[in-house]
Amino acid sequence: MSATPRELGYRWPAEWEPQRATWLSWPHNADDWPGKFQGIEWVFCEMIRWLCEVQRVGLIVASEAAGQQALHALGLVGTRLAQVELLVAPTDRSWTRDYSPEWLVRPASAGQPAQLGAVKWQFNGWARYPNHELDEAAGERLARARSEQVWLPTRSGPGSARFVLEGGAIDGDGQGTLLTTSDCLLGTVHPRNPELDQAGIERVLRDYLAVDKVIFLPAGVAGDDTSGHVDDLGRFVAPGRVLLARESDVHDDNYLPLERAREQLLGERDARGRRLEVIALPMPAPRFHAGERLPASYANFLIANELVLVPTFNDPKDRHVLGLLSELFPGRRVVGIHCLDLVWGLGSVHCSTHQEPALPG
């Protein structure tokens, strides 16, 4: 049996640590945004334009021709194209967060240079959608293109089924604490790893992400078709500090689940024994499409080098949220990305992106 990342001294960096690049997949599946697809590539252009000001951007495209078309569109909005690198890999969808690898870093030691490793979980379409094979293959291709060592975790050892997990289901503080939800990792409606109990799931996360404490919040937000991804619910913004969505309307479907999550977190300690500071993040007004609740949430923000991209929804709370995040990230520019069209596809900024850490110097 090969050694795990924990055994080899790798660690899972927090999102606010230095990054080499942010990865996105150029949008192409019009079915994900019924009636809204025409404007989606311009939302991606806006995200990429801002990201290229602070770091490289990796862009997954279906073909070389598709890549050139994407570069043309990006050039029209003034993107620094020298910062964009293309990876040709067909995909089913553009929710890059969920089928990309989790990158790990190992510091230089004993004459050995620092190394980048990748944990590639199996992606199965959120245990819900049958067309996911291209996404799964693209994620592994990305892992092998960028990483010196790649792990494909299984559920219970060699020969067993692959461990299923999406990037949006987990959030970390870079110091051994992982945040997730029971609905997503332990739920029975759309189960990922049905033969594993909580202890078994924690074992895999501890071995492959080198974490010491896993906090299971009860549930995600209303309208989330991923069965409770934590990146719409709560996010670490610093060691010991969690920004948690909070609903003020007692009649809203999110009110009780978010209050329960808040009560739980206030009683938790992180991997280093610190009590967590829980900061309230307002929820935008509910958004619907054809009677279906959309997972509009400000928690789906992305942290990059010197930059934070925040989904906005033409909501009076937009300005307050941008100000709050500016206070929490004083060394970064906080930029709103208009996501009313993007969330039509049941995701927004964080779902569309995945950070690749920089190797420690």
List active site positions. 351
Separation CA 246–CA 259 (nearest Å): 7
Q: CB burial class (10 A; 0-12, 13-18, 19+) of residue 288?
A: exposed
Q: Which two tokens stand for residue 245?
A: 């969505």
Nearest-CA neighbor of 360 among 8, 10, 55? 10
Question: How are beta strands 288-289 and 292-293 bridged, if at all?
Answer: antiparallel
Distance CA 221, CA 225 (A): 10
Phi/psi region, residue 194 (left: phi>0; alpha: psi -120 to 50; beta: rest), is alpha
All residues at 6 or more sequence positions from 327 whose CB lies less than 8 Å from its CB, including other chains? none
